[in-house]
A and B are shown apart, each in its own frame.
Chain A
Amino acid sequence: GAGVSQTPSNKVTEKGKYVELRCDPISGHTALYWYRQSLGQGPEFLIYFQGTGAADDSGLPNDRFFAVRPEGSVSTLKIQRTERGDSAVYLCASSLGASGANVLTFGAGSRLTVL
């Protein structure tokens, strides 16, 4: 597609529920990133995919968070047993590759609210 697409744009859920957030990157972009942006803060890195594999998941806060990218394109961020502190905007970004010269293109984000 023309840009990075994220769905849903807004998700309200109850504490303890399971949530999936989807990211559809720019066609041909091999690198995909997930970030989390809390209110009034800059985005914080969660996980990075190169192709189908998670090359770096050091930013995932705990084992309730998991992400997949089975075919090297669309990615899903999965959050189990959601907590109120998980409320944030989850951003996805993609780039052509992993070299230092490549620029990340961000999606508009998925706003998650845990009640």
Chain B
Amino acid sequence: GNSVTQMEGPVTLSEEAFLTINCTYTATGYPSLFWYVQYPGEGLQLLLKATKADDKGSNKGFEATYRKETTSFHLEKGSVQVSDSAVYFCALSVGDTGRRALTFGSGTRLQVQP
């Protein structure tokens, strides 16, 4: 079956520190990979995505590269801000048509201190 494993949180960083949140996956077929973010009191929002191997998704200074050889999609940001404090979810979906449901990891809480 399909599954996503994320590093456990919380991750606590000081402002302007470098961020890495690890994500690895198991999938039947060739998945698309996503990072979603959930800010306090808000709904899940798509942060970035990559649909094939070696693709790099990027948004708001965050990046993640689809690594098929290591089945990974680690999230990185060079300099975090207090406003980046949120819960980050790695997710995958398999198949181009039909069921497009996402399989999520358990989430990683990021706390950025000023």
- Which A residues lie at the B interface, using CB under 8 A? 4, 31, 33, 40-45, 48, 55-56, 59, 91, 93, 95, 98-109
Cα A98 to Cα B4 in complex, Å, equals: 21
Least CB distance from A51 to B in Å reads 13
Cα A98 to Cα B46 in complex, Å, equals: 17
Please tell me if the beta carbons of A33 and B101 are within 8 angstroms of each other in the complex. Answer: yes
Please tell me if the beta carbons of A100 and B32 are within 8 angstroms of each other in the complex. Answer: yes
- Sample (12) of A-B pairs whose CB atoms are under 8 Å apart: A40-B106, A40-B107, A41-B106, A42-B4, A42-B91, A48-B100, A55-B99, A100-B95, A103-B49, A104-B100, A104-B102, A107-B43
- B24 interface hit (Cβ, 8 Å): no
Cα A56 to Cα B101 in complex, Å, equals: 9
Which residue of chain A is the closest to B32 with respect to CB atoms?
A: A100
Q: A43-B104, A45-B102, A95-B100 are in contact. List 10 more A-B contacts (CB 8 A).
A: A33-B101, A42-B91, A42-B104, A43-B102, A56-B98, A98-B99, A100-B32, A100-B96, A102-B100, A105-B46
Least CB distance from B40 to A in Å reads 12
Please tell me if the beta carbons of B101 and A48 are within 8 angstroms of each other in the complex. Answer: yes
- Candidates B32, B46, B96, B100; contact of A31 at CB < 8 Å: B100
Least CB distance from B10 to A in Å reads 11
